[in-house]
Chains A and B, each alone.
Chain A
Amino acid sequence: MRDARSTQLLFELSQAGRRATTFPTCDVPERLLDELMPVAARADAPPPLPELAEPDIVRHYTNLSTLNMSVDTHFYPLGSCTMKYNPKRNEQLAALPGLAQVHPYQPAATVQGLLGVLHDLGEMLAEIAGLDAVSLQPAAGAQGELTALLMAAAYFRDRGEERTTVLVPDSAHGTNPATATMAGFRAVTLGSTPQGWVDLDDLAAKLDDRVAVLMITNPNTLGLFDPQIVEIAERVHARGGLVYLDGANMNAILGITRPGDMGADMMHFNPHKTFSGPHGGGGPGAGPIAVREHLEPYLPTPVIRWHEGRYDLVNDRPKSIGRVRSFMGNVGVLVRAYAYIRTHGAEGLRNVSENAVLNANYLLSRVKHILPVPHGDRCMHEFVASASKLKSDRGLTAMDVAKRLLDYGYHAPTTYFPLVVREALMIEPTETESKETLDGFAAALFRITDEPAELVHEASHSTSISRPDEVRAARKPVMRWRDESAAEE
């Protein structure tokens, strides 16, 4: 049934002279190209653009889209990514003309509704964070991290303190050390204890007056809540440092505990994870940050203010680190987060996290007999299982299992991350999945472990591409299409 012809490259489908539109006769006098642009300034030949009719193009993209797995078509337990279902209601609300059809250069007086939504979203995020002030501007979680660390740098500069290092536990998100480096700090790794918590001895050894920030992900990438968090924060504060909490795993703790209560001074949210913004396509994303009061003067400008009965944008903030993104950030994603939070309310958000944790623990208990979970029998919203036993017993790797799951109609879990677990399969079911879906997934895993090893090694069998040559893709990537027949001539 698959239409493989239409998913060839558009260049390969091209037929000379074919067009999707016919232009009407020009109703102004035509002038020769030579009069409009000198020959010397023109290319020798037109660029080799594909020439296609409209049905060719529509079939091309529509068929390509059917080769994807998505949350709307498949269970997608991709650990660390919180692939929850995105309610379609949020799409309708974000498309309302008063929100979607406004221009960023409109005077504030004519977009009071949208500014009100963004202002209130900031207040709701501050409450969820347990912190005082918010910027919605960063365009992604990683940019939120960078924004916060630039603010920390400005804060210490202001105080005349020279602090050069950022501590990052090895259970943190991979973006954290990259952010520290981008912000001009030196990233220093903290080790973990066997149960997956921060090694306090290592913290004691590395914590000194040069430490600007400790960046911690809690719950961490092992899906574990580090109960030492308050003590860790107190120790960092005692040496004058700040604590940054990576909010990527907020889906586990909404309405149950708050980063501010744990001692964090700064954090970011990932609305596409926690508040059901759309994933994928490389954006547009959003990475709002929340900070404690003493960091508020450094927030990016502009800041939305409710003042004398109306919202306005405040740019006169001398300590601000300035803009990090044009206008108010990626507003469409933020409106979806607002709609999600308002739809659930405080009780509903707590239910989201309770069910996310319940689903993860249920799935853990179903699969641990074939995929042991090295860091224990209890988890938060996700857990990291290991295919080590399967590898030594049957020669099946985490990659083999992940590829074979595609044949069963399940998106694969995150593989080989975090690095502290060998043959890692990081599984995050999210709260939006039913017990039947979780049982079906566990049953598929059980079946795979009983299948002939050859069959699993060669999976996936049902996808258009099975196992791309990753080494060649990394070492000799082909970055653009070339007309090889023309090159030969």
Chain B
Amino acid sequence: MKPEDLLYATTHEWVHVAADESGGKVATVGISAFAVESLTDLVFIELPEVGRQVKAGESFGEIESVKAVSDVYSPVDGEVIEVNEVLRDDLERLSQDPYEAGWVAKIRMSDEAALAELMDHTAYQKQCADEAH
């Protein structure tokens, strides 16, 4: 996935929305390259349980680096249908390739209203530039 094509939450999660076979909307969620770099060396990730109902803005996982533990927030409303199990043992995937191999969870969206709260790539880059100083 190209970073330019994604939507972003203020809390640094990215979202890619696609339709599944039944026509429902599935959001793939990950953590932005900027956030991954800021966290520095990653140590652990706690992934949400498959089947969990989440609301936009709700913490549904944790990521721990050598610096700190940070919450991972769901950017959308819906049900967690898949998580990237591989990350539990191989966080390098997230550090090296946050937009493809390092995705975190897939959520079948129950409502699309939360998407309106997200930023496009340009707006997100501006937020990152502000935060970096």
Residue numbers of A with Cβ under 8 A of B are 388-389, 392, 416-417, 419, 422, 470-471, 474-475
Contact = CB atoms under 8 A, between A and B. Distances in A.
B68 A416 contact: yes
A80 to B, nearest CB: 14
Given A388-B132, A470-B66, 11 more contacts: A392-B132, A417-B68, A419-B68, A419-B70, A422-B131, A470-B41, A470-B43, A471-B41, A471-B43, A474-B43, A474-B64
B126 interface: no
B118 interface: no
Interface string B91-133: 0000000000000000000000000000000000000000111
Nearest to B64: A474
Contact of B44 (A392, A419, A474): A474
B11 interface: no
B44 A416 contact: no
Nearest to A397: B40
Which of A419, A470, A471, A475 has the most chain B CB atoms closer than 10 A to its own CB?
A471
25 contacts: A388-B132, A388-B133, A389-B133, A392-B132, A392-B133, A416-B67, A416-B68, A417-B68, A419-B68, A419-B70, A422-B38, A422-B131, A422-B132, A470-B41, A470-B43, A470-B66, A471-B41, A471-B42, A471-B43, A471-B66, A474-B43, A474-B44, A474-B64, A475-B43, A475-B44
Interface in B51-69: 64, 66-68
Contacts of A416: 67-68
A392 B132 CA distance: 9
A470 B65 CA distance: 9
Contact of A474 (B38, B66, B68, B133): B66
Which of B42, B64, B67, B70 has the most chain A CB atoms closer than 10 A to its own CB?
B67
A389 B132 CA distance: 9
Nearest to A417: B68
A276 B48 CA distance: 45
Interface of B: 38, 41-44, 64, 66-68, 70, 131-133
Contacts of A422: 38, 131-132
Contacts of A471: 41-43, 66
A389 B41 CA distance: 21
Nearest to A398: B67
Contacts of A470: 41, 43, 66
Contacts of B66: 470-471, 474
Contacts of A475: 43-44
Nearest to A471: B41
Contacts of B68: 416-417, 419
B39 to A, nearest CB: 10
Contacts of A474: 43-44, 64, 66
A190 B71 CA distance: 15
A99 to B, nearest CB: 41
A422 B42 CA distance: 17
A223 B99 CA distance: 38
Contacts of B70: 419
A16 to B, nearest CB: 40
Contacts of B132: 388, 392, 422
B58 to A, nearest CB: 13
A417 B67 CA distance: 8
A265 B109 CA distance: 45
Contacts of A392: 132-133
Which of B64, B68, B131 has the most chain A CB atoms closer than 10 A to its own CB?
B68
A388 to B, nearest CB: 6
Which of B42, B64, B66, B68 has the most chain A CB atoms closer than 10 A to its own CB?
B66
A221 to B, nearest CB: 13
Nearest to B133: A388
Nearest to A419: B68
Which of B42, B131, B133 has the most chain A CB atoms closer than 10 A to its own CB?
B133
Nearest to A474: B43
A250 B66 CA distance: 29
A470 B41 CA distance: 8
